[in-house]
A and B are shown apart, each in its own frame.
Chain A
Amino acid sequence: MAEYSAFSLLKNALTGNKDWKPAWRKPDPKASYDVIVIGGGGHGLSTAYYLAKEHGITNVAVLEKGWLGSGNVGRNTTAVRSNYLLPQNTRFYEHSMKLWENLSHDLNYNVMFSQRGCLNLAHTPAQLDDYARRGNAMRHLGVDADLMSVDQIKRLVPALDISGSARFPVLGGLMQRRAGSARHDAVAWGYARGADRRGVDIIENCEVTGFLRDGGRITGVSTTRGEIRAKKVALAVAGSTGRVMQLAGISHMPIESHVLQAFVSESLKPIIDTILTFGMGHFYISQSDKGGLVYGGDLDGYNSYAQRGSLPIVDEVMSEMVALFPGLARVRMLRSWGGLCDMTMDGSPIITTGPLPGMYLNCGWCYGGFKATPASGWCFAHTIAKDEPHEFNAPFTLDRFYRGLVIDDKGQGATPRLH
């Protein structure tokens, strides 16, 4: 019987909830593993889970410097979508979407993935054409996409100002109905529990302080909890990739760390039943099951590891919000936070073997990392297990920048803050 179910809830309620087991064990690190995954965030945990599930590699440790899920998996706006322009991205994110669609069952953990759609609003004819290009590109890869008329949009989101008198009137939108949102923390916890139940050691409060080498090969890590050896060392530390790579002697990467702020309003009765993006700025919004509006906008725009947001972005995001929803001016912002984003030079991620022997690298998630969590771990596990990428992540190499093979969905070039 499944560990978690309505029945188990009832049974445990009758015994005063005294018999629930820890979601994951708190083991001490062993001296060596087949694979060490550095980073106990969503990607590291899903990598460990799929190493065990898909490849039978269970002698795995996930090392987390703080508490599990303390990185971006717990600091995002929970959107899940595969509505990309370029086929390399669309294929990968669509694979992720398919994993999402069955994730709660797979993990026996309700990650609350709710496919309530993602609508990109268009405000000029040229933008509508751009979205049509994107939607058609998705359709040619078997991914769902539709254009919505203003009337359809009004019915879907009555609170939206679709009047022609708006500064940037809504002309239509691109809808991916299978897109949606999920409960971010549950994804980390679900993967952690799933990996743990398959034998993976999840080791919290264990910070990597250096790499062990044999010649040029990485053979393990030194940590605040001692040295740990491994045949393969995999990095999934997006947000801190630069810092960890510097421990391995690689001083420069095609990555900048940036802060992305996100915001939650006080809890409200349902008012927005989809994920919505504004086309004349950088703003997106959805409503959580608890009723808080969850929204965000642009990067703060400069290198930072501080998880501290700046005020101008707060103002910008809120201005765009009430431009779309003038009725929400009296709703109040309750909480804000900042997440660290690994911004690459083309806005697309890196999942690859190397760059050092014995090392595997998963990074550069920009601000698309949450929705990638299943496919990222799935592809990374494949790459680690087989020592070569799966076709889904084959384009996401580290050398693509230098070879002119960038995957630049926004066409902004090597200016990370603009992706």
Chain B
Amino acid sequence: MSPRRAETGGRIDRLRTIRFTFDDAPYTGHAGDTLASALLANGVTLFGRSFKYHRPRGLLAAGVEEPNALVTVLRGEVREPNIAATMVEIYDGLVAVSQNRTPSLAWDIGAINQLGGKILSAGFYYKTFMGPVIGPMKGTRFWMFCEHFIRRAAGLGKAGTASDPSRYERMNAFCDVLVVGSGPAGLMAAKAAADQGARVILADLEAHFGGSANWSGETIDGMPAADWAQRAVKQLEGNDNVRLLPRTTVWGYYDGNTLAALERVTDHKEAPAKGEPRQRYWAIRAGTVVLATGSFERPLVFPGNDRPGVMLAHAAERYANEYGVLPGQRIALFTNNDSAYRSALALKKAGAAIVAIVDVRSDVSNEMRKLTSEAEAELLAGHAVIATEGGKALTGLKVQRFDFMSGALSGDERSIHADCLLMSGGWSPTIHLASQAGAKAEWDPARQAFLPPKPTQRWIGAGAFTGSFSTAEAIAEGRAAGLQAAGGAASPAPLTVVEAAPGDPDPAPIFEIKAKGKSFVDFQHDVTAEDVRLAHREGFVSVEHLKRYTTLGMATDQGKNSNVPGLAIMAEALGKPIPEVGTTRFRPPYTAVSIGSLAAERFGDLKPERLTPMHDWHIANGARMYSAGLWYRPMIYGLAGETVEQAYVREAKATRESAGIVDVSTLGKIAVQGPDAAEFLDRVYTNMFSTLAVGKARYGLMLREDGLAFDDGTTWRLGEQEFLMTTTTANAGKVMQHLEYFLDVIWPELKVSVTSVTDEWAGAAIGGPKARAILAACVTGTAVDNATLPFMGIVHGQIAGVPVMICRLSFSGEMAFEVYSGAGYGTHVWEALIEAGKPFDLVTYGLEALGTMRIEKGHVTGAEIDGRTTARDLHLDWMLSKKKPFIGSAMMDREGLVANDRLQLVGLIALDNRPLNGGGHIVEELDEANPHDSLGHITACCYSPALGKYIALALVKGGKARHGTRAFVSDPLRNRFGPIEIVSNHFYDPDGSRMHG
């Protein structure tokens, strides 16, 4: 038997022994143990080091609020830092290590900070480290020098860089009633709601349902409370309409009664089953929420209250009753309220000696006096603990007479030997979720606690959450809440009989004992009562200033232990009641949640891949792909040994000399249908579409409402009331929403429907002098000669037995055709075109060659239509119809949009015959050392096989007037400087003779 494990008792499985290590030392525990209880059972008292002073710390709590005992759990290379040992269920092979200590927990060099003492007071860093105003350490340098060391000293656990192999998942859930917390109140609420037929979810952050019933030692309905809870759970398990979620922390209460919860599915297992997630993120949309989240016991603030061995009273009770572990053999208690007496008795029953109960109150009730004598303890009423003794474990404490009206200490100090001191500063309801839901907590002077506000969303409170601390009240309120949440009528129920220790729920309003020595308010962050008073002295008196100046409540426990004591000390300093100091609003999360769980199913799969119908063909045929938004598109089809430039030059050259084919399936395609389709397009595009003949296509330009260019593309008239609009790949979704907005909101009278048909069609653009011959060789059912298929004409036919639609339009500047077929036939048609093209030296080309040919032609794309350019800037003013208003027409002529010095589209030729870079700038005077006075920038560039030169498109101030002038490219980022000539953007075949053929 380990040193502190009681012979009997607890809800652990003593037949199952579990082996684990902590800081490389092997230990054993039992199934049902947490890391905290198992280590405690093994006699471990030192669990962690504090943040600032690196003081030795033991367990303060037994649950989620533990601020001291933080460990890192290792799974191979994968690290999980900052986990409270109280929340780690042990499993065989568990490896846990302590944190924030060098070299070891017992001997930590960082403890030297304690010598800094009063220099390292709250906010000291704001007052120093500024460094000299002159010299090599001026400016920010001295601070950054100091910061280097400060950063390494700060921080808790160490995160890993090894990728987490775990799976995370999301689950969307809907229910009538979500019950948060499975203590007596929550269990009763769940049962009452389930009995009404409601869909119920019951969630509890602990591994086992039951809450305080698991360790209270009370009797409910004649059976031990823990058994009563188990019976209730069994009943719920049998219901189809109930989902039970143990190990599930409801951490966020969002708008619309949407709650976020984290289920730790396999953290307690050696390994997950196949496909089983480590954690599951529940997004729960609840009709009504029952908040039965219980309450936290508060520490008291007195000198030495952080010494290992000083613990919350209920935590010790829980270690004894739930885990069969005694946190000490000789236990003293220090309290301002009645609940500690019950704890004393429980520990006595578990086998410890209770050496004293120190109560700040002088008038202790007879009931409590009776409990004291049952515990065979000495009662020191009207006393306070003023110091603790010991090193890394408690050896004793000092008490003195205390006047709780004045706070004054008097009389002789008395020493008491004890290896464990339990404290109770009263209880704070766990109102975090209610506060997150959007309302301010209310201070209750009797309970000396913030109670939940009036609901602003659909929730009902029950039990200790509402300030009703007795189990009998919890059961009654839980049942009523469950009924109400399920819409059931209140009905008389057999009274549940609870046998519990008596006690007044109201504590004395004492939070701090002022005596010599460091008294901790925030344990993890080492914020002392003196720090709070210093903040007061310096004017940081509002609760938010207090928090921010001292870091009180900013530790991993988020103030669960420190909030109320901190406020109380500030309130006293200010001479104001606590509610006037304020309480901070709680925000999500209630407890820290893993980032992986929030990424959930998108961990390792951030965005879907969007693939064209010919994707697999491209891969199989050597295409190098790159992503364009979510799409993957071929960049080049490189031959062995080719550079990217060699490949695209070859592809572009071959296209202009014979023919090339490119996958254009990614272009946005929108079916615009209905009697008013033509009228609608006239309003949407700057140019006319109502005049377009059926069977013809037209290039169109759209503006935004503010008059700037938005998107361009061709639109095909397939029927009197049927158009196929194409958009740029990047803007497909935006254009669709733009059209839908105008049809729904602005012009609902128009009979037009728009549908995304991007995925319906596979598109292949085939261009070059031999393109028509290739089509003629494989298209059946239609001729493709100039008469049948003129420029911007559309025909229907078949290729390899598949219906196709062919439009003669050109982006490359060559005689070119876009061939559309049903997406399921895309590869079939593509392969047929390739086959037909073999005798004609057809090449496949990728986006690089596509870009090269468009630069040669001076066509614009997203690099030029960048949301800041106008039609005029891009020399597209010929498309602005004067015959009709269109979206953007009223705004496009405002002074700023027609100014002469705007950036305008031009072409550039590198006069030094060296490559240009996208994003290079243009200057009139070259100054490599101090570049200045940029005229504009390169939007796209390439080597032009057609011109035999390095060329670019650029946006240049007053660019049109600069045609024929010389300037310089100035690209300090890539150290590329050199002369250029500014020319028209139409480099190649400006009159379009090749495409008109």
Contacts and interface: CB of A to CB of B under 8 A. Distances in A.
Interface of A: 4-6, 8-10, 12-14, 16-18, 20-24, 26, 66-70, 74, 87, 101-102, 104-105, 108-110, 112-116, 123-126, 128-137, 139-142, 145-147, 158-159, 161, 167-168, 180, 183, 185-186, 189-190, 204, 265-271, 280-281, 287, 289-291, 306, 308-311, 314-315, 318-323, 326-338, 400, 402-406, 408, 410-414
Given A110-B130, A185-B548, A315 B78 contact: no
14 contacts: A10-B119, A20-B534, A123-B627, A128-B918, A129-B917, A130-B919, A132-B974, A189-B549, A311-B258, A314-B598, A319-B598, A326-B604, A336-B588, A403-B894
A23 B539 contact: yes
A113 B129 CA distance: 11
Interface string B542-580: 101100110100101010000000000000000000000
A6 B128 contact: yes
Contacts of B144: 114-116
Contacts of B254: 308-311
A286 to B, nearest CB: 12
Contact of A327 (B162, B626, B934): B162
B438 interface: yes
B745 interface: no
Contact of B119 (A13, A109, A404): A13
B56 interface: no
Nearest to B598: A318
Contact of A74 (B128, B154, B548, B937): B548
A50 B603 CA distance: 48
Contacts of B129: 6, 110, 112
Nearest to A332: B592
B852 to A, nearest CB: 14
Nearest to A324: B606
B606 A133 contact: no
Contacts of B51: 267
A279 to B, nearest CB: 11
A21 B438 CA distance: 37
A140 B923 contact: yes
A113 to B, nearest CB: 5
Given A22-B539, A326-B163, A413-B708, 8 more contacts: A9-B119, A105-B130, A113-B140, A136-B931, A159-B161, A280-B607, A318-B596, A330-B80
B121 A140 contact: no
Contacts of A5: 127-128, 130
A266 B919 contact: no
Nearest to B935: A140
A416 B920 CA distance: 29
A13 B934 contact: no
A385 B988 CA distance: 57
Contacts of B704: 413-414
Interface in B19-59: 51
Contacts of B534: 17, 20
B161 A308 contact: no
B626 A124 contact: yes
Nearest to A287: B151
B157 A269 contact: yes
Given A328-B595, A330-B78, A404-B707, A133 B604 contact: no
A132 B973 contact: yes
A4 B128 contact: yes
Interface in B699-758: 704-708
Contact of B81 (A17, A113, A331, A406): A331
A161 B140 CA distance: 30
Contacts of A335: 554, 558, 587, 589
B973 A145 contact: yes
B866 interface: yes
A334 B594 CA distance: 9
Given A104-B140, A110-B143, A311-B254, A322 B161 contact: no
Nearest to B536: A22
Given A330-B596, A331-B81, A114 B147 contact: yes
B125 interface: yes
A125 B626 contact: yes
Contact of B540 (A23, A268, A403): A23
A133 B919 contact: yes
Interface of B: 51, 78-82, 117-119, 121, 124-130, 133, 138-140, 143-144, 147, 150-152, 154-164, 166, 168, 170, 252, 254-255, 258, 260, 283, 438, 530, 534, 537-540, 542, 544-545, 548-549, 551, 554, 556, 558, 587-589, 592-596, 598-600, 602-607, 609, 626-628, 704-708, 862-863, 866-868, 891, 894-898, 917-921, 923, 930-934, 937-938, 970-974
A330 B72 CA distance: 10
A135 B595 contact: no
Given A26-B539, A132-B973, A140-B933, A329 B130 contact: no
A112 B921 contact: no
Given A21-B538, A129-B918, A315-B598, A333 B592 contact: yes
Nearest to A74: B548
B127 A268 contact: no
Nearest to B251: A333
A349 B937 CA distance: 25
Given A114-B144, A136-B919, A168 B627 contact: yes
A8 B744 CA distance: 68
A322 B599 contact: yes
B595 A315 contact: no
A329 B168 contact: yes
Contacts of B549: 185, 189
7 tightest Cβ-Cβ pairs between the two chains A and B: A411-B867, A132-B919, A329-B596, A129-B918, A404-B896, A291-B155, A404-B894
A308 B256 CA distance: 12
Contacts of A140: 921, 923, 931-934, 970, 972
Contacts of B163: 161, 326-327, 329
Contacts of A132: 917-920, 971, 973-974
Nearest to B705: A414
Contacts of B937: 133, 136-137
A261 B507 CA distance: 38
Given A9-B119, A330-B164, A269 B708 contact: no
B4 to A, nearest CB: 29
Contacts of A167: 605-607, 609
Which has the most chain A C-beta neighbours within 10 Å: B548, B558, B930? B548
A139 B130 contact: no
Contacts of A124: 626-628
B896 A137 contact: no
B196 to A, nearest CB: 29
A22 B595 contact: no
A311 B150 CA distance: 34
Contacts of A180: 140
Contacts of B138: 105
